[in-house]
Structure 1
Amino acid sequence: MTKLIGLPGVLLALATPALAAETDWPAFGHDHSNRNFSGLTQIDRSTVARLRPAWIFQTGVTGYFQAQPIMVDGALYLSTTQNNVAALDAKTGKVLWTYVHKPRTDKIFGPPSNRGVAVANGLVYEATMDGRLIALDSKTGKVVFDKEAVRPEEGETETASGLADKLGGKPVQGSSRLGFKMPPLVVDGLVIVGVTGAGYGLHVEDAKGGLDGGAVVGIEGGYGRRGWLAAYDARTGEERWRWYVTPSEGWEGGFVDKTADGMPLHRDTAAEKAAAEANRDAWRVGGGSLWMTPAYDPSLGLLYLGTGNPAPQNFGLTRPGDNLYTMCLVALDIHTGKLRWYFQQVPHDEWGYDVAAPPFLFDGPNGTKAVASASKTGWIYVHDRTDGRLIERSEPLLAQKNLFVPPSAEGTVVAPGPLGAVSWPPTAYDGHLAYVQVRHGATTYTVNSVPAGPGRPEIRFTETGGAKGEPSFSTLTAVDLTSGGKIAWSVKSGSRLSGGTLATAGGLVFSGEEDGHLDAHDAATGETLWRFQCGAGISGPAMTYAIDGRQYLAVASGGSSYTQASGFGTGDSLVVFALPE
């Protein structure tokens, strides 16, 4: 449901720089609109076939290398898994300085990945998996401040080891440990960053160790944390405001039976209401991770961000209600953090459909100032960014099956599964088409239980698993957001797509595959014009910049769970391309 909360009735144009003059890549997504678009044209349809590596930087740290580099004034800034940071000469790859992170705890959420830094005010800002906000001098790498925002293990309830015997001996892993993955946003003297891990909870490992694509099990009970976004003073690191995803009042919402765009939810709201009194404090561990960097409209003073799934994940009876403001696109006041409006894509989620992809801003239909959100459910939603009004919903990006049908004892096959359609990798937009990496696949959601034993009640949980006979593949899909959200073209990839997309004024779209290929597509048709094997899976977004009249293209090559499961290792390389001189 869309709700407008106290937004002043002012509509001003979003300031957009002249793209043709851009050479730097000064922020995640290129600028605060999050469009992942560059006006550079040296590498174009006619020249891309000659693209080749100009230099390669090896970090020495292998793993989930998901960061998008930042380039400012001839220096390239890059974070690695394990939260190390390097500053490189963007023309030659020469190391200018490095920062080696020393975590204060190894109790973090998930793989130790980091998705990028922010550069402003002569500082490099990084938010770390062990819950710290760090500022480094951009010229020397010296630590200017190091603030602990949260201890990942604070507020844990029962540990994974304490549950193993209760779930029939099945190995249990994970917990709701808070830390940071997203690249910070620096605006108006503030550093904006939000936590992940809030809605993760505990889950039962599958045979592959619980890697993505394997079983994720939501266990009933208080296994979650409150997600939050906070603003910190860009000079000192002191906290200025904090917004919690799960409110203490009104978390239950209206017990709606349809989504805001009219899709039936198949909910047993009578059972939820009956359970409400016994679970009135569920918001305290209600989840709502924040996966990616917000977009920002300076004319309205509003931040736009997507929120994650409620906790306990995939099991809804102990969290009755709509579980506000999880699974939402929200707008917050930059100065106070107060909620201005929200649109909940999936009330009372039981499928893992986080609003994970970073929203992006653009000039919408009929002159509207729009914000778009690509969803795991399989649509791109377009809203008026002043009040959240839904302007349009795109055509489905994939074949949907049993959408919003709840888990069952017999097993419910639902498509898409919890990895998407569209997960956290960013969408590129060139002023006409939005380019998204779409994962096609189904998941079986099964409600299971462990009988009551001495001193403990029955434990219920939802298991996720494969869906035999259902297709599984990825497409790069272009969606026309100027004509009702129609699909312009869609091409199937050779392996699973990850990392997001980059569009350029050279008529190109760059997209990474988890088998290690970086691909260049014709933006008008989807035709593959160039491919390069980077040596390890691409799991972060590419970017581009120019120095001394030469355009460069950079992408991290670090591998992924897909490459590991397929027998391939991880990598540690930043690969930088250019045309021959």
Structure 2
Amino acid sequence: MHIPFRLLPTLLTLAFPPVFAADIEWPTYGLDLSNQRYAAPSQINTGNVGRLIRAWAYQSGVKATFQATPIMVDRTVYLSLPFNGVVALDAVSGRQLWRYEHPRKKDYPLCCGPANRGVAVADGKVFIGTVDARLVALDARSGKVLWDVEVADAGSARQESVTTLTESDPLRKATIAGQSGVGIAMAPVVHKGKVLIGVTGVGYGLHLDSDRDGAPLGAVVGFAGNYGRPGFLAAFDVNTGKRMWQFDTIAPTHWEGEFRRTTPDGVPLYRDIEKERAELPTYPDAARYGGGSAWSTPAIDAENGLLYFGTGNPSPQMDGTSRPGDNLYTVSLVCLEVETGQIRWHYQQVPHDQWGYDVASPAVLFDYPHNGQRVPAVGQAAKIGWYYIHNRLTGELLKKSDEFVVHQNTFTNPTPEGQVILPGVLGGINWSPTSVDAGLLVAYVPAIHWPVKYTKLVIPATDAKLAVEYTTLEPLMDVPRWGVLSAIDLATGKMKWQHKTAQPLVGGVLATAGNLVFMGEGNGRFNAYDAANGQTLWSDQLDAGVNAPPVTWQIDGVQYVGVAAGGNQIFGYKAGDTFQVYTLKK
């Protein structure tokens, strides 16, 4: 039988269909439970990244601070939007499959803006924590609400107030944002039938908005007093939403701790310990308002049944007068048992924090060489500018980076004239997730150089009002500020390379087996760097700040890279509503 030559390709395809590698997904916030964000796809690599082009884009219509890590499973991208909308998109074409709009409680006080950092997908469900402190489970196929539970009560946190100030004080005329309310910013994570999520805003305090649109945060204001409430991390049943356990981030007893004069790694704190001890009986209820937001999605050691997450500043923020002591377990890396929520250990990076040095960037798990052995380790990139490595079973500090990722002048006290400190309240390393190449033992860390002025002000007493003291942390606008992307050799603690950017870096990084590191900037640039030396190999210009973590996935042998471009209000980066996806030009 004669077969026309032109039909041979078709017949061969039918007889021997092409074999594609298995799809490579991005199934959870940190890629896997270790939070390493080091992805296996290598089709896009240092040799061809220059051919990267836009494949498709989704525009949500919601232009606001956009921080989401999308999830890609079953060829579907699940993307959370500001104010807690969720969309399901075809991962190859970008076609919208369904969209959920969250019915936020009327007049609910937003503690921390509209941002949401992502969803969790498991057991045919999509889980999202909301700005009004709820946990919602959606059907992954339809977006239909399966259950919706209250995680915390809006009225459970006592809020700061400027009403005690005089009419002539500038704060009375300022636009105030933020409060000790309760919301959820973190992406949940699911493990063994439990949805794990924590609350934020419990020690957030007052923020002064800038006097013009598109400008960064004006200042952070702190008052002594009974403001806030304890934060917590909790576990919920995936099928019913029933609360299974709750860990409060404020120690139930002796939250004053040891009254440490230094950080655990020996840096002086310049505290008046004698005064704090003497005044401790004056504030017997301070722990009831203790703060300690849970900002970061936990990393999970499934083999040992442990999880690791960071806690925020104590409440009230910045002014420690009304909370003598170390304020356990705030500003700590905390290890819990996944099954029970019982604490195994904690490491408090900054006792009695007055500077806003939350443990905000997610913890990362990897094995670490120590004294001739491989030790199960947990790493965390700190707001104060170091990278910490602990034995994840005991909490022992194994290594601290030998160099700061940014300049440091911390732990000074406020004065009427104002003291310049750095890293400031914005970091160091803010909430941005890092990436770790566990094979090479290299961490890729985005950071911020932005000095702030720390000032103590006193409003004198009058016949009608008592004297009022408050502190401000004001990001300085008339000094140089920049970003730094660092590659840290975790074995030695030294920098392999650093890449300086024109603007502070916030959003997160992605490292891949293609020897690439991806990171966005607030000016709208989305960049690919050579993981070996930090050289910029490719860049694209988007129409809003790229201040969310990139992800990658692979379908039918084609690798994609996606990132949200929606800006960041606190940093003054332009808002947008785009999720942009890239692939190689054929």
Residue by residue over 1:152-185, the C-alpha shift from the partner in whole angstroms, topping out at 9 and shown as x without a partner, is 3433345556767495634344321101010001
Partner secondary structure for residue 487 of structure 1:
strand
Paired position in structure 2 for 1:576: 581
Partner secondary structure for residue 425 of structure 2:
coil
Paired position in structure 2 for 1:4: none
Seen in structure 2, the aligned counterparts of structure 1 residues 43 and 386 have a Cα distance that, compared at 3 Å, is same
Paired position in structure 1 for 2:533: 525
Partner secondary structure for residue 362 of structure 1:
strand
Paired position in structure 1 for 2:410: 403
Give the superposition deviation at 1:562. Answer: 6.9
Residue 350 of structure 1 pairs with residue 354 of structure 2: yes
Is contact 2:561–2:582 with CA below 8 Å preserved after alignment?
yes
**What code does the residue aligned with 1:576 have?**
V
Seen in structure 2, the aligned counterparts of structure 1 residues 517 and 248 have a Cα distance that, compared at 3 Å, is same
**What code does the residue aligned with 1:571 have?**
G
Name the stretch that deviates more: 459-468 or 210-219.
210-219
Seen in structure 2, the aligned counterparts of structure 1 residues 399 and 497 have a Cα distance that, compared at 3 Å, is closer
Is contact 1:520–1:531 with CA below 8 Å preserved after alignment?
yes
Residue 421 of structure 1 pairs with residue 420 of structure 2: no
Unpaired runs of 5+ residues, structure 2, are 1-20
The one of 516, 520, 529 equivalent to 1:512 is 520
Paired position in structure 2 for 1:130: 132
Paired position in structure 2 for 1:177: 181
Give the superposition deviation at 1:111. Answer: 1.5
Is contact 2:157–2:289 with CA below 8 Å preserved after alignment?
no
Is contact 1:29–1:36 with CA below 8 Å preserved after alignment?
yes
Paired position in structure 1 for 2:489: 480
The whole-number CA distance in structure 2 between the counterparts of 1:455 and 1:230 is 45
**What code does the residue aligned with 1:512 have?**
G
Is contact 1:514–1:562 with CA below 8 Å preserved after alignment?
no
The one of 434, 443, 446 equivalent to 1:434 is 443
The one of 300, 308, 312 equivalent to 2:312 is 308
Is contact 1:109–1:152 with CA below 8 Å preserved after alignment?
no
Paired position in structure 1 for 2:502: 494
Give the superposition deviation at 1:450. Answer: 1.4
Paired position in structure 2 for 1:89: 90
Is contact 1:152–1:178 with CA below 8 Å preserved after alignment?
yes
**What code does the residue aligned with 1:463 have?**
T
Partner secondary structure for residue 280 of structure 2:
helix
Residue 557 of structure 1 pairs with residue 557 of structure 2: no
Is contact 2:158–2:226 with CA below 8 Å preserved after alignment?
no
The whole-number CA distance in structure 2 between the counterparts of 1:211 and 1:326 is 30
**What code does the residue aligned with 2:458 have?**
S
The one of 387, 400, 403 equivalent to 1:393 is 400
Name the stretch that deviates more: 220-229 or 407-416.
407-416
Give the superposition deviation at 1:406. Answer: 1.8
The whole-number CA distance in structure 2 between the counterparts of 1:188 and 1:239 is 14
Give the superposition deviation at 1:203. Answer: 4.5
Seen in structure 2, the aligned counterparts of structure 1 residues 540 and 158 have a Cα distance that, compared at 3 Å, is closer
Residue by residue over 1:76-97, the C-alpha shift from the partner in whole angstroms, topping out at 9 and shown as x without a partner, is 1000001000001101111111
Seen in structure 2, the aligned counterparts of structure 1 residues 100 and 135 have a Cα distance that, compared at 3 Å, is same
Is contact 2:450–2:475 with CA below 8 Å preserved after alignment?
no
Paired position in structure 2 for 1:44: 45
Give the superposition deviation at 1:212. Answer: 5.0
Work out the percentage of aligned pairs sharing the same amino acid.
Answer: 45
Residue by residue over 1:466-494, the C-alpha shift from the partner in whole angstroms, topping out at 9 and shown as x without a partner, is 45875311011100112x21110001113
Paired position in structure 2 for 1:445: 454
Specify the structure having the higher radius of gyration (Cα).
2
The whole-number CA distance in structure 1 between the counterparts of 2:42 and 2:213 is 44
Paired position in structure 1 for 2:142: 140
**What code does the residue aligned with 1:296 have?**
I
Is contact 2:88–2:96 with CA below 8 Å preserved after alignment?
yes
Partner secondary structure for residue 508 of structure 2:
strand
The one of 274, 299, 302 equivalent to 1:298 is 302
**What code does the residue aligned with 1:492 have?**
K
Partner secondary structure for residue 506 of structure 2:
strand
Residue by residue over 1:237-264, the C-alpha shift from the partner in whole angstroms, topping out at 9 and shown as x without a partner, is 0101111111231110000101111111
Give the superposition deviation at 1:320. Answer: 0.3
**What code does the residue aligned with 1:372 have?**
G
The whole-number CA distance in structure 2 between the counterparts of 1:356 and 1:196 is 11
Residue by residue over 1:261-303, the C-alpha shift from the partner in whole angstroms, topping out at 9 and shown as x without a partner, is 1111111111111211111211111111111201000111111
**What code does the residue aligned with 2:367 have?**
D
Give the superposition deviation at 1:382. Answer: 0.1
**What code does the residue aligned with 1:481 have?**
L
Seen in structure 2, the aligned counterparts of structure 1 residues 564 and 402 have a Cα distance that, compared at 3 Å, is closer
Name the stretch that deviates more: 162-171 or 62-71.
162-171
Give the superposition deviation at 1:433. Answer: 1.1
Name the stretch that deviates more: 494-503 or 571-580.
494-503
Paired position in structure 2 for 1:13: none
The whole-number CA distance in structure 2 between the counterparts of 1:468 and 1:166 is 25
Unpaired runs of 5+ residues, structure 1, are 1-19
The whole-number CA distance in structure 1 between the counterparts of 2:208 and 2:503 is 27
The whole-number CA distance in structure 2 between the counterparts of 1:150 and 1:494 is 40
Paired position in structure 2 for 1:7: none
Seen in structure 2, the aligned counterparts of structure 1 residues 518 and 530 have a Cα distance that, compared at 3 Å, is same
Paired position in structure 1 for 2:58: 57
Paired position in structure 2 for 1:80: 81
Seen in structure 2, the aligned counterparts of structure 1 residues 156 and 537 have a Cα distance that, compared at 3 Å, is same
Seen in structure 2, the aligned counterparts of structure 1 residues 163 and 223 have a Cα distance that, compared at 3 Å, is farther
Residue by residue over 1:368-406, the C-alpha shift from the partner in whole angstroms, topping out at 9 and shown as x without a partner, is 111001001110000000000000000233454432122
The whole-number CA distance in structure 1 between the counterparts of 2:421 and 2:161 is 30
State the aligned residue count: 558
Give the superposition deviation at 1:407. Answer: 1.6
Paired position in structure 2 for 1:28: 29
**What code does the residue aligned with 1:307 have?**
T
How well do the aligned residues superpose, as a CA RMSD in angstroms?
1.9
The whole-number CA distance in structure 2 between the counterparts of 1:267 and 1:22 is 55
TM-score scaled by length of structure 2: 0.92
Paired position in structure 2 for 1:372: 379
The whole-number CA distance in structure 2 between the counterparts of 1:203 and 1:540 is 22
Seen in structure 2, the aligned counterparts of structure 1 residues 239 and 160 have a Cα distance that, compared at 3 Å, is farther
The whole-number CA distance in structure 1 between the counterparts of 2:209 and 2:118 is 29
Seen in structure 2, the aligned counterparts of structure 1 residues 157 and 547 have a Cα distance that, compared at 3 Å, is closer
Paired position in structure 2 for 1:274: 278
Seen in structure 2, the aligned counterparts of structure 1 residues 352 and 201 have a Cα distance that, compared at 3 Å, is same
Give the superposition deviation at 1:430. Answer: 1.2
